[in-house]
Each structure stands twice: as structure tokens, then as C-alpha cells.
Amino acid sequence: MDINLLQASNTPVPRDLPLDLPLPEWLLVTLLVLSFLLHIIFVKLMVGGSILTLFAEIKGLRNNDYDVFAYEIAKTVTVNKSMAVVLGVAPLLSINTLYTVYFYSANALTGLAWFMIIPLVTIAFLLTYLHKYTWKAMVNYKCLHISIIALAVFIFLIVPTIFLTNVNLMLFPERWAYIKGFMSALILPNVLPRYMEFLGACLTVTGIFIVWYNGRKSYPVGRLYQTFNRNTLKRMGYYVTTFGLGLQIIFGIVVMISLPAKGINFEVLELMVFGGIMLFVALWFSWKALSADSEQKRDNQFWKVMTSILFFILVYGGSRQLYREQALHKHRDLIAAKTEAFERLSKAAREHQVDDGTNVEVDPALGDLAQGTALFKQNCASCHKEKQRLVGPPVQEMAKIYYGNEEGLKNWIKVPGKKRADFPQMPGFPQLSDEELTEITKYVLSVK
């Protein structure tokens, strides 16, 4: 969007906090990108793992090996969940530090939903523990047991929509004025395709995790399963990954098409295309692994699938960050200008405060009132005009009120009260000396 358009529309341009970053910006950005990627991998294992648990436990009603499989995955979900939460702190803190105004505004606009994350996630976490620890105790109440994880999955599917909505909304300050709560932010173009791509990624990552986790040499497949062997489990993992990659590709394309153009530049496009290619490469290897006719051939694909997925994840993290920078840079310029103007003003105000009046520009032609007029100009004129209301009432009005009451006027200036309902509070001037106050009062009371 053009910078003038940004200014002309009712885009809010808040002032930034005039505080230094705690770390160099590049370091914070690197931390944000890397810690976010680590966090989101575990989130995907948690969401994908619980979906698969649900799915496998239902299949387990017919075939007990699926029930065993479901239990094995359920045990990893709670661990991955803890990792996801702990690793989520770093990106949350760094995005708050780097994009304070944006992140805050998006969160404030969808406040209720944002807060709901805490009870929702708490409930979902407790449900996953309940589900895991009651596996044996509830063998005779399978349907009830399955509904516990079904509810957890349901919540796990809702929570990412809140996060996605907010990190999407923070990119579009020009929409903030029109947002009325969470739902109106959720339907911004791009949120749902991103969500679907995320679900695909949950399956991709969980699938490859299963290939590794259930395929480890030390993993007691023979003891756990009656009919499944290591190869069956790996094949299941590749099945899930292939399916997930397919979803990612389809919805990745929708994301690219629906992505508002303001954040796209050549580098972003380049990275996205490269990421897309990586997904296709991963899909190709994953498909080869899935359709391999021997365990050896299947195993040969593992590192290829793994590497292409890791590459994709890195590229994805980079392109997200670049898109964000590109989408926000014009608005950030506006904020920077506003912040700078504010800092200039407040600096001037600070300097005037300690001013002892020696560098006041005095016009000697005013004779007796010269000093007072100059002091008034310096300290009061930004809010008071002679005949008209500005921030405060006109000087004429003051003169009328304090006619013959020089002391009263001086007291007001030092410690002003709160008088007029439709005016803000006037700041006090305890730093002015008694002589200065006398001069100012002389001037004020001279106005007819």
C-alpha cells in the first residue's frame, strides 16, 4: 500500500516506545525465527500426534495393534506438548520486543479469544494426561476414553486459529479500525488457507517422527505388537507424511495466491518458490519410501525426506519473517516519524523545564511586560492563546478570573487544579521561580 494511502485511510499510527532493544535487532530476529521454528515443530508433533492417537484408537476397536499404536503415540504427545510450551516462550518474548505495537494491537483487538488460549490449552493438556493415564483403567469404557482425546483434539484444532489470526492481523494495521473482535479477524483472507497448510504440516512432521520413533532399533516392536512389525510402522509414518505433504502443497498454493501483495517482494517470492520446490522434493522421496517394496529401500529415503523437510522449514521461517518485514515497513516508517516527533517535543519540553529563563527571547520594545511575555511564550503559549481557546482557555479569560488576585494566579500556575469538565488537566509549573511567576502574572493580567 502506498504510504499516502496509509496516511489517508484511518489506519491507526500509534507511537512506539522510545526504548532501546535489549539485544541487537539482527540477533533478536534470528532468535525469533529459530525459536519459533523449534517451537512450532513440537506444536505440530503435539497436534498431529493427538489427531493420530484419536484416529488409531478408533481403528483399535477392531484391531488391537492399532490400539497399542495409539497408546505409544499418546505417550509422546504429552512430552512434545511440554517442549512446545517451553519453547514457545522465546518467540513470544522476541515478537513482543520486536513488534511491540503490532503484536499488542492484534492481541488487544481479539482480546477475549487471546485470553481464551489459557483455559483452552490448560483443559486440553489435562485431557491428554487423563487420556494417557486412564488407558488401562478404561479398557471397558473405550468410547468414553476415545471421547476424552476427541475433545482434546477439538481444542488443539481451535487454538492455532487464534494464534494464526493474531499474527496475521498484526501485519495489517490498515484493517485494525474495522476489526470487531476475533471472528472478523479470523475471516481476513489468508488465515484459513494458512491454517489448512498448518494442519498438513502437523501430519508431515508427525509422520516422519513416527518413522524415526517407532523404527528405532531399540524400540521393542516384537514385544508390543502382534501383527505389526517395524516395517509396517515405518510405512504408516510415510503414509501420514505423504498425505500431509500433499495437503501442504495444495494449501501452500492457496496461501501464495491469497497472500496480500503488500508483503511480497522479489526475495519473498523467491523463498516461497524455493520452499514449494522443497515440498515437492519431500513429497517425491516420501512417496518413494511409501511405495518401496523392501524395508531397506524404504530406509534409504529417510534422510532425503528428513533433509528436504528441514530445508523447507528453514525457508518457511525465513519467508515468514521477510514477508512480515516487507508488509510492515511503510507503516513502521510512519510510526518511526511519529515517535521521533514525539521525542523531539518531549526533549524540548524537558529542556525548557530546567530553563532558568536566561535564554528567553525578550523583546525590549514591550517595556515592563517584555520578560513576562517572553516567559509566557516559552512556557504557556503551546496551550494558551490570547483570545481563543487552544488546549486551555484564552488569556483574556484568565485575566478576568484573576483580576486583582495575583497570588491566586501564581498558585494556580504552580499547582493547577482541575476546573473545566471539557478541558484536560493543566500540568503544573513548580520549577518557575517567584520572580518568573510575577513576570508571567504581570503579563497575563495586562491582557484586556
Residues that bind ligand HEC (CB under 6 A): 379-380, 382-384, 391-393, 398, 401, 409, 412-413, 418-420, 423-424, 426-427, 429, 440, 444
C-beta separation of 402 from 409 below 8 A: yes
CB of 118 to ligand HEC, least distance (A): 41
Distance CA 245, CA 12 (A): 39
CB of 445 to ligand HEC, least distance (A): 10
Question: Which grid cell is 396?
Answer: 483574556
Distance CA 74, CA 51 (A): 10
Distance CA 200, CA 249 (A): 9
C-beta separation of 106 from 188 below 8 A: no
Question: Which grid cell is 89?
Answer: 516462550
CB of 437 to ligand HEC, least distance (A): 8
Between residues 57 and 436, which has the closer beta carbon with respect to ligand HEC?
A: 436
CB of 336 to ligand HEC, least distance (A): 25
Question: Which grid cell is 410?
Answer: 501564581
C-beta separation of 445 from 406 below 8 A: yes
Residue 357 φ/ψ region, left for φ over 0, alpha for ψ in the -120 to 50 degree band, beta for the rest: left
C-beta separation of 248 from 279 below 8 A: yes
Cell 499404536 -> residue: 69
Spatial CB neighbours of 14, under 8 Å, sequence gap ≥ 6: 101, 105, 335, 338
CA quadruple 35, 189, 259, 102: dihedral, nearest 10: -50
CB of 345 to ligand HEC, least distance (A): 11
Between residues 276 and 416, which has the closer beta carbon with respect to ligand HEC?
A: 416
CB of 357 to ligand HEC, least distance (A): 11
CB of 387 to ligand HEC, least distance (A): 15
